[in-house]
Amino acid sequence: MAQRQYRFFIIFLLAIVCLLFGRQVSAQQSNQANIDAEIAYLRSTQNSDGSWGGTETSLNTTFQTTATTARTFQLLEISDATLNNALTFLSAQSPDTVDDLSHQIEVLASSGGDVSSLVVFLKAAQQEDGGWGLDLQKTFVSDMTDTLSALRALRAAGAADTDTVSKAVGFLLGNQNTDGGFGFYGGDVSNVFMTALVLLTLKDFQGT
């Protein structure tokens, strides 16, 4: 009797394992199908010049949309004509803002492109307080968003030298609010989004 109960127990366990494994495989297949559909959508919406965006419903600029989509392909390790066309488009652009230049450097460097000349422009736009502002001509005061973008770009390009980074980190920490958080610029009220971004960046440059 005990042996029969044991056999039933083993069969029951095997049935549960098979059921759970089947669900896991099914979930993985479903997830992959969703990813494939999303990639197919991105491919189908790419413009003839290799860019994305530029439509009436676009929420960001063509440059920002293209850079973000190209970076997504890179992170998914999809290297094909779609990405190559996007890289060609981005390479031909001449950004006039720190954020756009930073995105350009990050994407091109992540694909092994030579961004040394672009890095020179980005470093030249660093202001005396260690941060970066909206434009490359230093017309606007330094802010958190552009400083974080510049640091990510320099890290991706392997050009985050100690002097540049320490000044930028000094700018960030110098604008931390008394509640521990960060705003979009010095003196701005703290918000969760910017505080999280600063924390992630500081972790990447820990020890600087």
pLDDT in tens, 18-54: 555 555 555 566 687 888 899 999 999 999 999 999 8
The pTM (predicted TM-score) of the whole model is 0.82
Give ∠ CA 121-123-129 in degrees, rounded to 5.
135
At residue 132, the pLDDT reads 98
- Residues lower than pLDDT 70 in the chain: 1-30, 207-208
Task: Provide the token pair at 146.
Answer: 């552009």
Q: In the prediction, which pLDDT does 22 show?
A: 58
Predicted pLDDT at 18: 52
Collect all residues with Cβ–Cβ distance below 8 Å to 101 and sequence separation of at least 6.
95, 118, 121, 122, 125, 136, 153
State phi, psi for 159 to the nearest 5 degrees: -120, 25
Q: Determine contact, residues 200/151, Cβ cutoff 8 Å.
A: no
How far is residue 150's CA from residue 115's CA, in Å, rounded to a whole number?
13
CB-CB contact of 134 with 163 (8 Å): no
pLDDT given at position 181: 97
pLDDT, residue 24, reads 58
